[in-house]
Structure 1
Amino acid sequence: MIKVGIVGATGYAGVELIRLLLAHPEVEVTRLTSRAEAGVRVDRLFPSLRGGIDLSFEDPANVHFEDCDVIFFATPHAVAMNTVPALIEQGKKVIDLSADFRLEDIASWETWYGVAHVAPSLVEQAVYGLPELNREAIRSAQLVACPGCYPTAVQLGFMPLLQAGVIDPLSLIASCASGTSGAGRSAKINLLLAEATESMKSYGVSGHRHLPEMEQGLSKMAGSDVKLTFVPHLAPMVRGIHATLFAKLTDASLDLRGIFQTCYQHEPFVVLTNGQYEPETRHVAGTNRCEIDVTQPAGDTVVITVAIDNLVKGASGQAIQAMNLMFGFEESLGLQNLAVMP
């Protein structure tokens, strides 16, 4: 049994962490922090958790996590980097769901996030937390930088073909749609029901902060520089990411589904639909699964479709998957739940 703390436990990723960890047989949730909600019982703010937890939120300024084995950061970007160094010095394991330790190029991170990075030395130490790519490194990591939601879907979709060297790495395209929860729990006019429902739009077309993370990971998979055109969209749904990926094949006669099967045959959370049905966000809602299909229309273009829950496989579930690896638990422990239907 391990003891867990969560910093920033009132956002969507934070409450999803609580929900999933309460069902984990090897975890005791002991510390939950929130500046704005300090002193408030968790189940008063989130009635959906009634009967599962009797803790109250604590002010992070008063919590030092001495009784925790691992601390999750579900905070906005540029927050964790101020606190994580002290926890690392204490020997604590840390799993950061923000972008603070994802990008190896510090200058690029500072450009995209608009602030100076105060813990660049930890970026070198952090392990990128995509288990399908870095499983063994995660096992021995002290600091894990969880991938973003879009980067999770895009990288898992392209990985088999890039590793096999059968697509042009300089002409990749990702057209992706996310539910409104991907923008966080803060009040924003464009996320009001009247604004977001019955409509779909692109955003960040001229540049999105997830792009350098995706190109960094995809380049490692390819063993060479990768160029990606990334267009995100806001879809009128709460949860989910659907990614439609395009690439040019270097050999149009390949068994593409065979390549994906070889790559993912032992992965507990990757489901290959093999043309039997199209990946849909509703198939994975509330789960840590990633559905993928690959199709080759006429010519040399390959199309990969991917569906994940942005709050689970794209955030909190993947973080728990990394935690399981770090502590020697069965990788799928606490993450076996099925999707909600409808």
Structure 2
Amino acid sequence: MTHKIAILGASGYTGAELIRLIATHPSMQIAALGANAKAGQSMATVYPHLRHLDLPDLVTADEIDFAKIDLCFCALPHKTSQEVIRDLPKDLKIVDLSADFRLRDPAEYEKWYGNPHAAVEVQKEAVYGLTEFYRDEIREARLVAGTGCNAATGQFALRPLISAGVIGLDDIILDMKCAVSGAGRALKENLMHAELSEGYNAYAVGGTHRHLGEFDQEFSKLAGRPVEVQFTPHLMPANRGILATTYVSGDPQAVYAALRDAYADEPFLHVLPFGETPSTHHVRGSNFCHIGVTGDRKPGRAIVVAALDNLTKGSSGQALQNANLMLGEEEIAGLTLVPCFP
């Protein structure tokens, strides 16, 4: 069976990444591409690297006949996404890549994103899209809310440790390095080559990053009591990739065993031999996440390092993984691309 797919926000980085992945999918066909600002243009014009693909031209969302669509990916900015999804057909399967449906409590959404939620009734049916931990719910879902790329990386490093009770919960430090594509394709002065290259800076320092809402929600749910991590992201002059270095209290071997056992059967989450740590180079352009554990010179402390590609496993690859489950397809379909190195 071939599934007809629509992508809204196809002119952004995550939209283009979805097209790249779906191009190798055995049972998906892209039937519609939405992008208001670039409507009327071809994808070959917007993204020349996709010119070899037979793709429909970009159109506005109201030009798409969703009755002919089996699943829609929404790769739109937050706030815009909830307003669009609210008005889509109620039986349409949707994978949202924005932040609009990640937080279960509308008050928490307003706290972190600065505006009231405009689709509270729709939000109630959203399933959190961290595939490896919400598979059963995702299979039955109509609307799946993709995680933040930073939030996914931190959770892959920490969720099994919280569940297994092998780390302290009050002194977790999460230091994250993030590539520039995570900020999207819109022109921003601080992301210009002359402003960004040859430099490296922390941002959202002191607990202001929006993905903390996801960490608070998910870690507290796991622990059964409030958990607040100390989190500082850093912008690095690279196109793709996230590297999360997490400092925890706990026996390093127990930390390693918890991660190894939790991910033993996962196709995309690879725990390296004890003492080895990953690089963003080794997951670039892929749906893999590599995780390493080492001890610290201080007894009773461990360091967990996780690396993934923010556009693939952190966003569009995760979205396709979820769509496969929602459509009854093999979870790994279209996602076994080997990382690109160097």
Is this a same-fold pair by TM over 0.5?
yes
- Matching residue of 1:229: 230
Tell me how far apart the structure 2 counterparts of residues 76 and 312 of structure 1 sit (CA, whole Å).
Answer: 17
Tell me how far apart the structure 1 counterparts of residues 266 and 73 of structure 2 sit (CA, whole Å).
Answer: 24
Please tell me whether residue 179 in structure 1 is matched to residue 201 in structure 2.
Answer: no
Q: Normalising by structure 2, report the TM-score.
A: 0.96
Higher mean Cα deviation, 120-129 or 142-151? 120-129
- Matching residue of 1:169: 169
- Matching residue of 2:246: 245
- Offset of residue 146 of structure 1: 0.4
Tell me how far apart the structure 1 counterparts of residues 165 and 255 of structure 2 sit (CA, whole Å).
Answer: 12
Tell me how far apart the structure 2 counterparts of residues 125 and 110 of structure 1 sit (CA, whole Å).
Answer: 18
SS of 2:68 mapped into structure 1: coil
- Offset of residue 75 of structure 1: 0.5
Q: Normalising by structure 1, report the TM-score.
A: 0.96
Q: Deviations over 1:84-127 (max 9, x none)?
A: 133352x0100000000001121121122122211112222110
Alignment of 1:1-342 (within 5 A): 1-89=2-90, 91-206=91-206, 207-249=208-250, 252=251, 254-275=253-274, 277-297=276-296, 298-342=298-342
Q: Deviations over 1:148-206 (max 9, x none)?
A: 00000000100111010111222211100111101100111111111111110000013
147 and 253 in structure 1: CA distance in 2 versus 1, 3 angstrom threshold: closer
- Offset of residue 53 of structure 1: 2.2
Tell me how far apart the structure 2 counterparts of residues 96 and 54 of structure 1 sit (CA, whole Å).
Answer: 21
Q: Deviations over 1:285-319 (max 9, x none)?
A: 00000000112213122211000000000000000
Letter in 2 for 1:140: E
Mark the runs of 5 or more structure 2 residues left unpaired by the alignment: none
Tell me how far apart the structure 2 counterparts of residues 97 and 124 of structure 1 sit (CA, whole Å).
Answer: 17
Higher mean Cα deviation, 219-228 or 179-188? 219-228
Runs of 4+ with deviation above 6 angstroms: none
Tell me how far apart the structure 2 counterparts of residues 219 and 53 of structure 1 sit (CA, whole Å).
Answer: 46
SS of 1:295 mapped into structure 2: strand
Tell me how far apart the structure 1 counterparts of residues 168 and 256 of structure 2 sit (CA, whole Å).
Answer: 18
Q: Deviations over 1:254-312 (max 9, x none)?
A: 53322212100111100111236421101000000000011221312221100000000
Higher mean Cα deviation, 252-261 or 77-86? 252-261
CA root-mean-square deviation: 1.3
63 and 253 in structure 1: CA distance in 2 versus 1, 3 angstrom threshold: closer
Given that 2:166 and 2:255 are in contact with CA atoms closer than 8 Å, whether structure 1 keeps it comes out as no
Tell me how far apart the structure 1 counterparts of residues 48 and 87 of structure 2 sit (CA, whole Å).
Answer: 33
Tell me how far apart the structure 2 counterparts of residues 257 and 279 of structure 1 sit (CA, whole Å).
Answer: 14
- Residue identity over aligned pairs, in percent, reads 40
- Offset of residue 63 of structure 1: 2.3
Tell me how far apart the structure 2 counterparts of residues 274 and 333 of structure 1 sit (CA, whole Å).
Answer: 27
Given that 2:110 and 2:116 are in contact with CA atoms closer than 8 Å, whether structure 1 keeps it comes out as yes
Tell me how far apart the structure 1 counterparts of residues 123 and 40 of structure 2 sit (CA, whole Å).
Answer: 33
